[in-house]
Amino acid sequence: MKKYIILKPISLLLWIVCGCSSNDGTDIDKEKPTISINYNGGFPQGCTQLVKGETYNFRAKVTDNKALASYSIDIHNNFDHHTHDDQITECDLGDIKQAINPLIFIKNYSIENELTSYEINIPITIPDDIDTGDYHCAYSVTDETGWQARTSIDIKIIE
């Protein structure tokens, strides 16, 4: 009887452990997508000066091992000289100043058809009536499983 009392919990425990396998046959995506502006045509590069009233094609290459889902572009002022973790190029910054009418551009875009490689190419016109000075251009990409990558570039908007 004692043997039955001991074996029943052990066999139940073995059944639970063996039945709870983490491998259900699906291939789990463990890789983040990538973003690169460091190629011929990538724009803007670090410290690029953009002229008010002009239109520029913002371009970056994004890749993923499985499937890309979306990306975003965020252009915001850097009048307070804040930084982002991934900035590579250090630019000469103007004086710290208060924003009066800064450019704020934030848009999200979908990537259809489960592509693993895509080139962002978005025309953006720099408005004539915004504050000149230091800005950041931030790209973000998300894959279909939710992994995300970001990169930020220092730019300057001039007259």
Q: What is the pLDDT of residues 10-23, one digit of tens each?
A: 665 555 655 555 55
Encoded tokens for 18: 């063996």
Looking at 2.60.40.3880, 2.40.30.10, 3.40.47.10, 1.10.620.20, the CATH number of the domain 30-158 comes to 2.60.40.3880
What letter represents residue 27's amino acid? D
Query: C-alpha distances in angstroms, 31 versus 58, 80, 83, 116?
Result: 25, 34, 25, 12
Which tens digit of pLDDT belongs to each residue from 80-101? 999 887 766 778 999 999 999 9
Q: What's the whole-model pTM score?
A: 0.81
Express each pLDDT in 63-82 by its tens digit.
999 999 999 999 999 999 99
